[in-house]
Amino acid sequence: MKYFYKSNYRAGGKYELLSAYLDNELSDEDVKKLEEELQFSKELQEKLTELKKIKQLTISSIKPVQENPFFEARMAAALKIKNPWHYKFRRFSPVFSVIALSIVLMIVLRYNPKIIDRLVDQQKSSITAFYKENLKPLLYTANLTNEDIFNFAFYHQLPLDSKKKQYLLLGSDKNGKQYFEIKDAGFIQNMNNLARFSKNLNLTETQQRQMDSILASYAGDLQAQVLVNEKNTVAINPNIWNFNKAIAIDLISFAQKVNGKESLKVVPPGYNQLPSAKALKQMAKEIKSAKNNKYIFFTSDSIFSDQYQFNKGEFNKEMENWSAEMNKNLKQIDKQFKNFNVNIHFGDNFAKFQKGSSQNKGFNVYIDSNVCRVDIPEIVIPPIVLPNMGKLSEKIDSLIKYFGSYSFSIPNPGKDKNFNYKYFFSDSSKGYKFNYKAFGFDSSFTPGNSRADQMLKKRFKNFSFNPDSMASIFKMFMGDSSNGREMQKQLKNFEKRMEQFQKQMEQMQKQLKKNVPEEQQGKPVEI
């Protein structure tokens, strides 16, 4: 085939340069030289035209290869096939893993055939243990009263909390299957059932006590029937239905005993066909003695039945400890809570109170149409120019504001804590002095209200507040309003500041004692 080009080939000739020139592959210098030659050589010009024509024909004759949309997919497949051994191994690695795992399992099971059962049991026990942890009686907080237990016996309802917002209801359907449900208190209608029951039976005081003791004896047992914990587990002992019957039977038995004729009238519907007293007693005994430690556990993800021993003694001990601790804390709080007297004087003649005021111990608060004065008790102020009195007067000013419209709420006193409030009315022949007691104050003061109203309207007409009745004053003073709380807070702060002030004064007194004449010491100074 060599003859194709040999005949036209001119070695080292200009034509080869022309070809390279056409392909843009010559250096600038060669291009310059060649272009100069091209200007004067017709032969070279013709050859260039010829080469251009050939190049153009070459370019136009070849169509680009068509794209193959499947090329990459084929390529990927080929890569997988021709890949090294590790790629193949990786491809089959899940299969190898499964085979290896199966072999291991087969070997393990061959030598430990009961391992799966053990694992399942272990898992099961750990799950149940998890849910059974720290179970506490739900009804403990409900403070079950005899009325509640009575209602449980005959109306199958038990309050679940002390405020009796929710009730546990026991029931049974048409087929006799028992169920329970928890409902809000809205539907509960039968109240004071125990009182009506007692009344209808015409119980004597002794009989009443007997019945109360019967009911109270079930309270502890009932508590252990419904248990809960912080994992939202509710455990119910099916024996609760038996307790329900046992209490009912015990009560009916008692009713028969104390008043056989009337008992038929007072027993709720469904319980009026009574067996003999002996049979009833036997039934109650059987139910009580039937110990059932099997609880039904309702958890967030499963329901199961399992044995559970609720240790009532331990729980009671725990509660006692808790109670003791709480009492201890309360005592500490009580220690910090000082006894003090507050004497409040209302009147339009301020001067009249000045005489007797110094004899009163505790705080003396004088309220007039123009002024409010607070006498501070048991503080020996040395006869010197007192520093920071401006701050104290600011405090008193803020107190006046609250006295103008509201008063403070009085904390609930214990037996030993007396908050003595004395109200004095300046030019009235009748003053009021009373010891505050937490309960029943409304009834104590009701008879005097109308007279007090008239008197107050007269005496307080110039004051910034105009009380409608005596009771309203007490309510204002003892109410739990935000202003009342604020007043209380203010007084506590005030007391603290006074204590600090007293300490400071004592220190100052010690320091100044040497310089102050003895006869001037101990004299009270008015603020």
Partner 1 sequence: MKNKKNEKDLALPQILNLDDDFSLIKRFIEGDESTFSVLVQRHKEKIRNIIYLTLGNHDLVDDIAQEVLLTIYKNLSRFRFESQFTTWLYRITINKCKDHLRKINIRHIFLSFKDSDEEPGYEQSPETSDVKEIVHKAIEKLPDKLRIPLLLKDIEGLSYREIAESVQCEIGTVKSRIFRARESLKTLLKPYEQELL
Question: Which DSSP state fits 383?
Answer: S
Q: Which of 39, 65, 95, 518 binds partner 1 (CB under 8 A)?
A: 65
Residue 385: φ, ψ to 5°: -75, 115
Distance, CA of 226 to CA of 233 (rounded, Å): 10
Bridge-partner residues for 235, per DSSP? Answer: 227, 297
Let me know how long the chain is.
527
Short-list 251, 245, 242, 249, CA closest to 210: 251
Return the half-sphere exposure (C-beta side, CA atoms, 13 A cut-off) of residue 377: 14
Identify which range of 55-63, 364-372, 411-419, 486-494 contacts partner 1 by CB under 8 A. Answer: 55-63
Identify which range of 64-72, 160-168, 385-393, 474-482 contacts partner 1 by CB under 8 A. Answer: 64-72
What sign results for the dihedral spanned by CA atoms 466, 472, 477, 479?
negative
- The identity of residue 286, as a single letter, is E
- The residues in 152-191 that bind partner 1, with binding defined as CB under 8 A, are none
Q: Which of 40, 69, 71, 526 binds partner 1 (CB under 8 A)?
A: 71
Helices (H) then strands (E): counts for the chain? 20, 13
Q: Which of 39, 42, 58, 427 binds partner 1 (CB under 8 A)?
A: 58
The pattern of x and - marking residues 235 through 274 that bind partner 1 according to CB under 8 A reads: ----------------------------------------
- The identity of residue 287, as a single letter, is I
Q: Shortest approach of partner 1 to residue 64 CB, angstroms? A: 6
Q: Which of 39, 57, 230, 430 binds partner 1 (CB under 8 A)?
A: 57
Task: For tokens 């109670």, name the residue.
Answer: 323
The pattern of x and - marking residues 76 through 105 that bind partner 1 according to CB under 8 A reads: x-xx--x-----------------------
Q: Shortest approach of partner 1 to residue 77 CB, angstroms? A: 10
Side-by-side strand order, sheet with 420-425: 372-375, 363-367, 342-346, 420-425, 432-435
- The residues in 6-45 that bind partner 1, with binding defined as CB under 8 A, are 7-9, 15-16, 19-20, 23-28, 31
Q: Which of 51, 296, 386, 396 binds partner 1 (CB under 8 A)?
A: 51
Q: Shortest approach of partner 1 to residue 91 CB, angstroms? A: 14
Q: Which of 40, 42, 59, 359 binds partner 1 (CB under 8 A)?
A: 59
Q: Shortest approach of partner 1 to residue 32 CB, angstroms? A: 11
Are β-strands 166-172 and 178-184 bridged in parallel, bridged antiparallel, or unpaired? antiparallel
Q: Shortest approach of partner 1 to residue 28 CB, angstroms? A: 6
- The identity of residue 414, as a single letter, is G
Q: Which of 38, 42, 66, 140 binds partner 1 (CB under 8 A)?
A: 66
Distance, CA of 527 to CA of 521 (rounded, Å): 17
- The identity of residue 60, as a single letter, is S
Give whole-number Cα distances, 104 to 96, 99, 107, 200, 289, in Å.
12, 9, 5, 78, 53
Identify which range of 71-79, 280-288, 449-457, 497-505 contacts partner 1 by CB under 8 A. Answer: 71-79
Site size with partner 1, rule: CB under 8 A: 41
Distance, CA of 339 to CA of 336 (rounded, Å): 10
Identify which range of 74-82, 102-110, 159-167, 466-474 contacts partner 1 by CB under 8 A. Answer: 74-82
Which residues of the shown chain bind partner 1 in the complex (CB under 8 A)? 1, 4-5, 7-9, 15-16, 19-20, 23-28, 31, 50-51, 53-55, 57-62, 64-68, 71-72, 74-76, 78-79, 82
